[in-house]
Amino acid sequence: MHYAATNYSSSIANCPLLIIFATNNIDMHEDFLHFIYKNRLWIEGTELLTDNTPFEIIDTGLHNHDSGPDFFNAKIRIGNITHVGNVEIHVNASDWHKHHHDGDHAYDNVILHVVYNSDCDITLQNGRTLPTWEISFPQAIFNRYSDFKLNEKPIACTDYIDLVDDFHITMWMEKMAVERLEYKSEHISEILQHTNGNWNETLYIVIARNFGFGTNALPFEMLAMQTPLSVMLHNADNLFALEAITFGQAGMLNGQPNDEYTRNLATEYSFQKAKYNLSPIAESLWKRSKMHPTNFPETRLAQFAALMQNFQIIIDDILNDRFNPKVFDNLKTSEYWETHFSLGETSSKQKATKLGQQAIDTIMINTVIPFSYIYGKTTNPNFDSEKIIDMLRAVKAESNRETRAFSDVCKIKCESAFDSQALLNLKKNYCDHKRCLNCNIGFQIMKEINKI
């Protein structure tokens, strides 16, 4: 139930405008009011201040997501006077006091205060009463918003997504894919700062982290940070030395060796450690619980050591925009790993001495492509992000519970890594947090509901 607006007799000439919303036992939120105002979804013809003065919203302003008023540089007309300034939105008018705007000069230029419940007058420090608008909106839109917020389906709009055409879904998926790239780039930027802008060292650490494939990402990253790239490159033509350095730095050569190969690795690592003043990480950091043997840290460490033989080729190709993922096909560990899943323990099953295609795709998605994206953005003023999008489209889509929920239930295509990365970002950063009002799919559904 929407309360009747309170009458105001104060003059509003040359003073800020207050827009007010009222609520009566309705679970109303400011984000919904922002959505209605920003997208001009209020009921046309209800633009009356609480003293029944008509007004016109010429420009809703720029949505502000930081501190300060909710919308900057809005433009409204009251009578013959055009006001330019900011707009503040609350559920209740009294929230102005609760949020301590009274003495905050950032709100001196508010020209419109939008609320749902006009439960009190708001008086500025100069003694004038703020003009107030108690906004009205179609009940159908609020009902849909409530449904999104309250239903427990993994994807809140599952039952309504057919209302959205392919064009709007496609455009939103592209934005989601780029957002995902930006998110992955943030951690790369942090590492770049750690390496003082050294792109080679940064890629080395990022690739190492990727070889942890989630579970062991942190110890892999720590290993790379404590093992200078120069040490690896100096031994690039010696796979045994690379394995010794890798396993030694992983803290796995500190115990009693179980076989001759491990003893030889320990001897070689002792030499390399003294030569380069190396310091290993703790062996206890590595996780193996509920893990298939092909994903054991020893497996990935052996593969990482093998990769370092081709690292210079990889970094040169990426930095010169000619990278070919077939370089991973040449990765092959030493023969020891054909019969071992871990150091000193023989297995009757043949060890995977090469990276599988799924692992290669994961490295492309999580390392090569986001690294190429941030490197291009940072170093090339003519950078074309479409090349990066094309790289994503060339990689097979990830298949997991999240992507299948969209493709199977919502019938959104998932044909490449471009699609799966977009859907993962949508699920993690929008659906899981019920940010339906910030999602263009949710917005289109709201618009269509309003037409019914």
pLDDT in tens, 246-296: 999 999 998 776 789 999 999 999 999 999 999 999 999 999 877 777 788
Q: For residue 368, which of 332, 323, 304 has the smallest C-alpha distance?
A: 323
Helix (H) / strand (E) containing 346: strand 345-346
Average pLDDT over residues 335-344: 84
Of 434 and 15, more confident:
434
Nearest to 129 by CA among 76, 79, 93, 98: 93
In this predicted structure, the answer to whether residue 409 has a pLDDT above a threshold of 80 is no
Q: Is the pLDDT of residue 411 over 60?
A: yes
Phi and psi at 153, nearest 5°, equal -70, 145
Q: Which residue's structure tokens are 């999240």?
A: 402
Q: What is the mean pLDDT of the chain?
A: 87
103 pLDDT band, cuts 50/70/90, is confident
Residue 361's alpha-carbon distances to 104, 325, 368, 399, in angstroms, are 52, 9, 10, 12
pLDDT at site 187: 92
Nearest to 242, CA basis, from 308, 191, 190:
308
Q: Which two tokens stand for residue 350?
A: 């043949």
Of 174, 299, 311, which Cα lies nearest the Cα of 232? 311
Distance CA 98, CA 101 (A): 8
Is a pLDDT exceeding 90 seen at residue 90? yes
Closest CA to 243 of 153, 315, 336: 336
b/e sequence 348-373, b meaning 16+ C-beta within 10 Å: eeebbbbbeeebbbbbbbbbbbbbbb
Q: What is the rounded average pLDDT of the residues 57-77? A: 94
- What SS3 state is found at 54? strand
What is the DSSP code (8-state) at residue 19?
-
Evaluate if residue 16 carries a pLDDT over 80. no
Q: Is 98 or 149 the better-scoring residue by pLDDT?
A: 98
95 with 116: CB under 8 angstroms? no
Yes or no: say if 60 and 74 are a contact pair by the CB < 8 Å rule.
Answer: yes
- pLDDT value of residue 292: 78
pLDDT for the residue numbered 14: 40
With a pLDDT cut of 70, the percent of the chain lying above it is 92
Radius of gyration of the chain measured on its C-alpha atoms: 30
pLDDT of residue 199: 96
Q: Work out the end-to-end distance of the chain between its first and last CA atoms, rounded to an integer number of angstroms.
A: 21
Mean pLDDT of 394-417: 88
pLDDT at residue 352, as a whole number: 63
- Cα separation of 337 and 350, whole Å? 8
Report residue 380: phi and psi, to 5°: -120, 110
pLDDT number for residue 348: 64
Helix (H) or strand (E) holding 132, with range, is strand 132-134
